[in-house]
Structure 1
Amino acid sequence: MEFLSSRVIIHPSDRERSLVFYRDKLGLAVFREFPGGTVFFLGGGYLELSGRGAGGAGPDVALWLQVRDLAATAAELVDRGVALDREPRLEPWGLREAWLSDPDGVRIALVEVPAAHPMRLDSRPPA
């Protein structure tokens, strides 16, 4: 089995409001647009806004977005009018995280991986 691409699909309650949030507030670049939908670049995958949702966001799903500089990213988002649900802080597992929510309550983790964190280290034995 081989998976060639990945995409998270969100059905917002108000597509225009969510477009403004993801495109203008978060600054995600548009990959493609089609009638009733917009797909954004999202690191190694994509985020699609399409259709119309009615159920709202649940607490069990969140977007995990890695950034280079969490403090600078958080400050820029606040300057753009985005409210943070939780200010940046170092977590016990060694990642720096801040949290925010999209207009429908989708939880978004902004994550900075510090230089000495195991996610950045090459675990292969030396050649």
Structure 2
Amino acid sequence: MEVLSSRVLIRPSDPEASLAFYRDTLGLAIHRTFPGGTVFFLGNGFLELSGTGEGSAGGVSLWLQVRDLAAAAADLGDAVTVLREPRREPWGLDEMWIADPDGVPIVLVEIPPDHPLRTDVRIDVSA
């Protein structure tokens, strides 16, 4: 199987509220629109809001890497539901958990400069 592209699909209970949340509150750029849906750029992927659903997260969550978690938290202010305040997790990432209008958990992550995820595996540091 060859995967050429991918996206996360969300079927919101209130399409207009979700559109406003992802477009205006989070400030995601729109990739394209079509009758009944909007596709947003999501870093290296896409997020599609289309149709309607029951408003349940259904085990789905979004992981969004940000450059500066403190700045992102300040920018969002009281405009989002905060599930967990920003903090350094035991695995070394700085995370803040928020929710979209349907309760879909969104993890905002800043990767600290010294974290192993920032290690360039192409460089042999033992030499």
TM-score, reference length from structure 1: 0.93
Task: List aligned pairs for 1:23-102, cutoff 5 A.
Answer: 23-54=23-54, 56-58=56-58, 60-78=59-77, 81-102=79-100
How many residue pairs get matched?
125
Q: String of CA shifts for 1:46-99, please: whole Å, max 9, x gaps.
A: 0000001025223x32100000000000110115x2232111000000100000
Q: Can you give the 5+ residue segments of structure 2 that lack an aligned partner in the other structure?
A: none
The question of whether the paired residues in 2 share the 8 Å contact of 1:78 and 1:84 is answered with no
Structure 2 Cα separation of the partners of residues 32 and 123 of structure 1: 35
User: What RMSD in Å do the two structures reach over aligned CA positions?
Assistant: 1.4
| Alpha-carbon offset, residue 122 of structure 1 | 1.2
* CA–CA separation in structure 2 for the residues paired with 1:112 and 1:68: 6
TM-score between the two structures when normalised by the length of structure 2 = 0.93
**Aligned counterparts of 2:123 and 2:28: Cα–Cα separation in 1:** 37
Specify every segment of 5 or more residues in structure 1 that has no aligned partner in the other structure, as ranges: none
Native 8 Å contact 2:11 2:55 kept in 1: no
Moved over 3 A (4+): none
Is the 1:31–1:39 Cα contact (8 Å) retained in structure 2?
Answer: yes
Residues in 2 aligned to 1:24 and 1:55: alpha-carbon distance in whole angstroms: 20
**Secondary structure at the counterpart of residue 75 of structure 1:** helix
Distance 2:53 2:3 in 1: 27
